[in-house]
Structure 1
Amino acid sequence: MDRIYNPVYAGVPDSHLVSLAQRGDNEAFGELIERHTAMAKRMAYSVLRDETNAEDEVQNAFWKAYEHIGQFQQDAKFSTWLSRIVVNECLMRLRKDRRVRLTYLDDGLDGEETVTLDLPDLAPTPESAVAKTQVGAVLREEIRKIPTLLRDVFILREMQELPMQEVAGKLGITVAAAKSRLLRARLELRARLDRHCGRQGAATLTA
């Protein structure tokens, strides 16, 4: 197993790990994910019936759980809360996969006038262009500081947009290990942006 989390958390209750994670302890959050990965995968597969899609949505659910851990109220079990996120991600995947209707903007219905749509001008303003350049510089610098073990998989997947199977092949590791490293790379980058810009991360750079 591609694991680097602190073994001192092994006997700590989920509720305490959640409290630590809410205070910014990424290793505590990592321990929570390690504990509940098998459950999350089983649940995702029961909804999607496809192992690859299930693993993708589990990763998405983990990332969403990390982003919203501060909102978790401990009147329920962490496993229950995580399960809901996993199921929601899977249901959204199903809805997306089933959305096959195409919209033709230029075609009017029989007996009706063709509707002209006024699309907004999406060209960046000078201010937004400068802000985007600043954010890009910060991101590049923080990505460069991520440990090589994690940075390589992040660049291949998030920047070069390679399939996870190809990422794993290039690195000579299993797909599961590649996904584990990708999640940790995202956590590492988020932590770095939090320290650099505050809890809202890179979004504060454009404020």
Structure 2
Amino acid sequence: MANVNALVKKAKKGDNEAFIELIKQYEQVLYKVAKNLLRNDEDVADAMQDAILSAFEKLDSLRNPAYFNTWICKILINKCNSILNKNKNTFEELDAEKVQGHTAALNVKMEFQDELNALNPDYKTAIVLYYIVGMNTKEIAECLKEPEGTIKSRLSRAKSILKSNHLKEEGTMGYVQ
């Protein structure tokens, strides 16, 4: 993996190959963020494409090359939020044929995704950036322009809500009258 600082500096000077290399390094991270914030693959692809294009066009606005990851994730989160706002009134139904025959692991993942989607957007974003992207609380705070204490609080509350919901479901699923 090439040095991010060097690649950003080259990309800022007009080296398109350096920018492509940067995107390749962060492609999986960007995909994970978008996939966990958005429901369908088309929206994920649109958000990633828009974020990459915006990052390319606005690369000169990145002050510190060391924060490229945080910077591009923030752009992506903004693109995802725009898509979510556009799609707010649409309802996506699962195709029964696609669901049939899947393993229990897929059902667990879908249940977790539903629980994650039910969280307040601020809590969900903090959880995704911390656990899926792997940012620390300081990086998330910088990315979202929030105090680090606020991020820690959101993570704690989100974990508490997820745990509480999980325990409720476990309790109701095991009880039959």
- Using the size of structure 2 for normalisation, the TM-score is 0.48
Tell me which of the two structures has the higher relative contact order, counting C-alpha pairs closer than 8 angstroms and 6 or more residues apart.
2
Structure 1 length-normalised TM: 0.41
Which of structures 1 and 2 has the bigger CA Rg?
1
